[in-house]
Structures are given as structure tokens and as C-alpha cells.
Amino acid sequence: MSDFVSNRQIKALILCAGLMPATALAEYGLNMTRGVTTISREIYDLHMLAFIMVSIIGLIVFGLMIWSIIHHRKSKGVKASQFRHNSNWETVWTIIPILILLSFAAPATRTLIELEDIEDTEMTIKVTGYQWRWHYQYLEEDFGFFSSLASDHNEARQKNSGIDVSKIENYLLEVDNPVVIPVETKIRFLLTSNDVIHAWWVPELGWKRDAIPGFINSNWTMVTEPGIYRGQCAELCGRDHGFMPVVLKAVPQEEYLQWAKDMKQQQAEAASGVDREWTMAELMERGESVYTTACVSCHQANGQGLPPVFPALTGSPIATGPISDHISIVIDGMQGTTMPAFGEQLNAVDIAAVITFERNALGNSVGDMVQPAEIQAAQ
């Protein structure tokens, strides 16, 4: 039986009761998520054991209370007993709860110890939170990538986009680059942050960890079932906190190895792109894609921004002024503002492309362009 009642069922019940108009409703969970990892199932089983035990205790206690109220009421002529205490009963109702607590403590302690046991892991993934995207670094494979909200979801969420979000599958829970892991493999996750406190959370894994600047938290997982599992940042990390999803794809070992090979090849090709001359058309096409992923949240799709916190790019002194200043701000950010440093987040090709796009689109027409080699030199 599913742990959740569908939105459609809940909505139908509420509408039939006449309690509220036909509006969008969130998922109503009736129980914990059992998950797809060994540790999440242990946590779920502990939860169910505790739930059954407290339910039984509740039935016994309230049953005795109700029976006592009915059969010892004043209308039946029953008179209250006069006594101070009963040592035997007091001993019994002290020992029994202690035994119950001990019966929970043993398996709970074992599970907590297992949850922190990162020995014998077969691979390590470093997860770094940025406002507002994730970076995944496969340490043994020596490659990494950023994972951001999917471009069509990002476009749909913009003010006055005119897009019907109810027709978008997994709205705000889809990314451009999911993190891919092999099944039946013990994987260690190292979590940190580049700016503010984030929290990496996928409910099916059975755990959540904060990503804190200057600290590294760790955990592990072993997914037993292939599939796509979704989560999100669970810490209030800023303006676009709600648009920082996590998508984890668990695949068979052979499929993972092929994916890792393809990713390394793609990054090698991206690195080689620094050494060649790019045309204006190539830079504009790639720059538009980068802008939609990395810049549209603050500066908006039309470049008008959200002043005064997020300034407009259209006609701005940065996007139309000296190109060296534009490069410096994109690479190093701007202190005292919300503009982050993209030098660590984007490669030289992407930075060159997005700067070229910002100077020749969004209502700007400066006419110049930046080559990746210039960005690499500036870095």
C-alpha cells in the first residue's frame, strides 16, 4: 500500500466537503518514506516498531482510564478509595517503562552507529552548495560538474512567464545534470558550502546533512534499487532557496562506468575549447544557455533584474562599459553585493560566452566579444 494519498484524492474530498476552492495542493504524507537504501529501511522499521508499541500502550492506558471512569462513577454509588501509595505497583510501573525504553535503545543505538560508519566505502562524492546550485566532484574519477534547476523549469517560474506550470512534470524538482551513482555500491558523501549554509536532502536515502562553509560533513549511502530519486535543499539559504533541487540517478554498474567515461570526455573537450577561436554565433548560442542556468534568477530573462538588490543588465555600465571590468566582476564577483564569483563555478568557455551574450543581447548591442583564452589569462 502506498505511503501517500494522491493530491487528486485529497482535493476531491476537500471539494466535496465544500471547505475550499479548487486550488493546487501539496502531497499529504501519511507515513515516513521507507526509502531505497539499507539504512533508510532500518530507520523506517524502527519508526514502525515505536509506532506500534506506543499505539498498544495508548490503547491500554486510555482503555483502562475509560473503563475506570465508567465502572467507578459516583452515580453507581462507588466511593473513592483512601490510600497513600502502593510500593509494589509503583515498582511495576517504573520498571516496565524502563524495559520498554531499553528495548528501543539497543536497535536505535546500533542504527545510529551504522549511520555514521563511513568505512569500507567504494567511492567518494564531494557535494558543495552554491547559491543556488550544487557542485558534485567525483574524487576517484577526477571530474565534477554543476547541477542547476532545469532551464524550462527556471523559465516557467519567472514572473509573468505565461507558462502553465501544472503541465510541467516534476516542476521545480528537475535539474540539468543529475548526480549519477551505481547501485549496490557503498558511497561516501562529503558535504560543504561555498557561501551560506545549505542542506542536501533526498528523502529516499533516509538522511539529510547540512553543507556548512568551512566544514565538511560526511555520510554514506548504498542504493539497492535503480531509479531516479528527488530531493532539494532543506535549509533557508537565500532568495532562490526553493529552486535548488537534487536529482539522484541510481543505475547498474556498467551504465555508471559508461556515463563516467562520457563525462570525462566532455570535460576534456570543454578544456580543449579554450585554445581555439570561437565565432560570435557560437559564443551567443552557448552564452544564452549559460545565462539561463546561472544568471536569470537574479537578472531575469529579459535582463531587467529586480532593482535595487538585483540590478538590470540592459543598458548597465557593466554590460556596456569596458570589457575588462565586465570580465573581472563575473570572475571575482562584487564585494558588498549579491553578485557571486563565477570563476570557480564556470569554465573559461562558459564565462566568455555569457559575457559575450550579456553585451550583445538583453537590449544591449556593444558588438564586441570575449574569447575563452582571454578568460583563462584573466584567471
Specify the length of the chain in residues. Answer: 379
Cβ burial 277-314 (10 Å sphere, 16+ → b, else e) = ebeeebbbebbbebbbbbbbbbbbbebbbeeeebbbbb
Closest CA to 112 of 53, 46, 54, 183: 46
For residue 96, CA distances in Å to 50, 144, 234 come to: 15, 54, 39
Q: Span 60-83, mean pLDDT?
A: 86
Q: What is the pLDDT of residues 262-300, one digit of tens each?
A: 998 888 877 777 888 899 998 999 889 888 888 887 888
Q: What is the CATH number of domain 123-271?
A: 2.60.40.420
For residue 172, CA distances in Å to 181, 185, 357 come to: 22, 28, 26
Domain boundaries, the chain: 1-30, 38-73+85-115, 123-271, 276-378
Instruction: Kindly state the percentage of the chain with pLDDT values over 70.
Output: 92
| Burial bucket for residue 166 (CB in 10 Å: 0-12, 13-18, 19+) | exposed
Q: Do residues 32 and 44 lie in contact, with contact meaning Cβ atoms separated by under 8 Å?
A: yes
Q: What is the pLDDT of residues 215-258, one digit of tens each?
A: 999 999 999 989 999 999 999 988 888 899 999 999 999 999 99
| Burial bucket for residue 109 (CB in 10 Å: 0-12, 13-18, 19+) | exposed
- Would the pLDDT of 8 be above 60? no
Cell 490503547 belongs to: 59
Q: What is the CATH number of domain 276-378?
A: 1.10.760.10
